[in-house]
Amino acid sequence: MTSFDPKMMTSPSRESLTAQAMHAIDAATGAVIPPIHPATTFARDADNQLIGETDYRRPAGPNEFQAARVLAMLEGAPEAKLFASGMAAIAAVVESVPTDGHVVAQSEMYYGAKALLQRAAAKGRITLDLVSPGDTAALKAACKPGTDLVWIESPANPSWAIVDIAASAEIAHAAGATLAIDSTCAPPCTTQALSLGADIVMHSATKYINGHSDVLAGVLATRELNDRWAKITEIHTRTGAIPGAFETWLMLRGLRTLWVRFARQSETAMFLAEKLSGHPALDAVLYPGLPSHPGHAIAARQMTDGFGGLFSLRLKGGYDAARKLASGTKLFIQATSVGGVESLIEHRKPIEGPASPTPDDLVRVSVGLERAEDLLADLEQALAPAQG
Ligand SMILES: *Cc1c(COP(=O)(O)O)cnc(C)c1O
């Protein structure tokens, strides 16, 4: 395979390099698409030197190295690592916090990540403070000298609250903490969190990065090759929570169309959010692309190539109206997850459970690649009963 050339990071563009998976031409055959390498072990030469980049597939084989290079290029990172899921990537960051380390996270964030942190806190492994997403004053008050990790998520699932990454980095760094961000809903084609000051950026690649609802994977990328990254690298290698070669290959295939998918999904979501604003059955349309969204100005700064395909609707008719909307669509599929090519709709409260701060009346929408007018017509017909 063509080896990575750092010159390629600025020219041609990241978009062009993504489309070609950084010239992933197979040197042995000229195949334009890289082969799948299921091998778990790799031969050495007569001098006992590695022939390729690795001797064993935990932590990475040729497909994982290639995908990690593309992701590192996209993030402007010196290095990225692939995990078996977004949660496995989050678990590695949590594991890197020393015993009794202080973590500040968000009261509203991906519920699985919050549960993982709360579990570590309940066992006395870490101490944990939660602050409202985007409340920089509360974040500043919660961080104290010696805080180990600040974990943010922007846009925050499912209200799409926007967190100022640069301001959070300043606060975290003043306390001596590492700033990690779950940027799953703002993939690197629109937000480069590391260049805004984040130390670690995490993605559930299950979502936009793969984009086809057929791979479970996670990513971490680092701004610097520092002690934190060395710890995470060790955890990655020792725990072996890595994706399979086929999953990695599929992910790299999906990743090649990230820019065009995200642009179309952003465009359609903006169209739908605008058309649905003021709908008589709705209390609110939560979408960072709308100027009425409280985080819009910050989102416009840190989401440079689109606000994404995710928005939420709050229904005047409460829980029951939300139930009816989510089960009344014909084109939108009632299913969990986000960022795929098929549009999904979900009533979040019954999924997240009674402890979740998500309101009863909230329906989350993930826009895929169907025609915008078809999606609008579907939402309008499903909202009609709620109009009364
Ligand atoms: C899905 C998701 C995760 C978890 O990722 P998995 O790949 O499902 O383990 C974490 N954060 C956000 C924002 C997500 O949407």
CATH number at residue 221: 3.40.640.10
Q: Are 23 and 167 found together in one domain?
A: yes
Provide the CA 64 distance to its chain's centre, in angstroms. 18
Same domain, 236 and 309: no
Does residue 308 share a domain with residue 199?
no
As to burial, measured by CB atoms within 10 angstroms (0-12 exposed, 13-18 middle, 19+ buried), residue 35 is middle
Please report whether residue 342 resides in a domain: yes
Instruction: Give residue 1's pLDDT.
Output: 41
Per-residue pLDDT of the chain in tens (388 residues, 90 and over written 9): 445 555 545 579 999 999 999 988 888 899 999 999 999 999 999 999 999 999 999 999 999 999 999 999 999 999 999 999 999 999 999 999 999 999 999 999 999 999 999 999 999 999 999 999 999 999 999 999 999 999 999 999 999 999 999 999 999 999 999 999 999 999 999 999 999 999 999 999 999 999 999 999 999 999 999 999 999 999 999 999 999 999 999 999 999 999 999 999 999 999 999 999 999 999 999 999 999 999 999 999 999 999 999 999 999 999 999 999 999 999 999 999 999 999 999 999 999 888 888 999 999 999 999 999 999 999 999 999 877 6
Same domain, 237 and 328: no
Which secondary-structure segment (H or E) carries 173? helix 165-174
CA 173 – CA 154 distance, rounded (Å): 18
300 vs 227: CA distance, rounded Å? 33
Boundary-marking domain end, from 255, 271, 296: 255
Answer with the one of 205, 226, 255 that is the final residue of a domain.
255
Phi–psi pair at 128, nearest 5 degrees: -135, 130
| List 110, 111, 208, 287, catalytic entry | 110
Active-site residue, from 69, 125, 207, 223: 207
Residues 292 and 202 in one domain: no
- Report pTM: 0.95
Give one DSSP letter per residue of 24-40, joined into a string. Answer: ---TTT--SSPPP---S
**Ordered strands of the 333-334 beta sheet:** 282-286, 310-315, 362-366, 344-347, 333-334
Task: Tell whether 44 and 96 lie within a shared domain.
Answer: yes
Residues 281 and 320 in one domain: yes
* Residue 63 belongs to a domain: yes
336 CB under 6 A from ligand 1? Answer: no
On whether both 334 and 265 belong to a single domain, the answer is yes
Residue 207 Cβ < 6 Å to ligand 1: yes
Helices then strands, counting H and E runs in the chain, come out as: 13, 12
The pLDDT score that the predictor gives to residue 356 is 87
- Domains in the chain, number: 2
Q: Is residue 1 situated within a structural domain? A: no
Q: Is 323 a catalytic residue?
A: no
* Nearest protein CA to atom 4 of ligand 1, as residue: 86
Residue 74 shares a structural domain with residue 97: yes
- Is residue 367 domain-shared with residue 247, that is, in the same domain? no
Report the nearest-CA residue for atom 8 of ligand 1.
86
Residue 385, pLDDT score: 86
CA of 332 to the centre of ligand 1 (A): 20
- What pLDDT is recorded for position 387? 73
> What's residue 230's pLDDT?
98
CA atoms of 15 and 253, how far apart (whole Å): 14
Residues 6+ apart with CB under 8 A from 156: 106, 108, 109, 133, 134, 162, 163
pLDDT value of position 386:
76
Residue 38 in contact with ligand 1 by CB distance below 6 A:
no
- pLDDT for 120: 98
For residues 50 and 127, membership in a common domain is answered with: yes
Ligand 1 atom nearest to CA at 205: 7
Q: What pairing do the DSSP bridges indicate for beta strands 178-182 and 218-222?
A: unpaired
The answer to whether residue 58 is catalytic is yes
Q: Is 82 in the pocket of ligand 1 (CB under 6 A)?
A: no
Residue 290 tokens read as 């709308």
Specify whether the CB–CB gap between 71 and 222 falls below 8 A.
Answer: no
In a domain, 383, yes or no: yes
For residue 95, is it within any domain?
yes
Q: How far is the CA of 366 from the centre of ligand 1 (A)?
A: 14
**352 alpha carbon to ligand 1 midpoint, in Å?**
13
Q: Residue 41 belongs to what domain range?
A: 6-255
Quick one: pLDDT at residue 2? 46
Active-site annotation holder among 129, 148, 182, 199 = 182
Q: Are residues 225 and 286 in the same domain?
A: no
Q: Show which of 228, 255, 282 is a domain's final residue.
A: 255
Residue 171 within any structural domain of the chain:
yes
Q: What is the CATH number of the domain that holds 287?
A: 3.90.1150.10
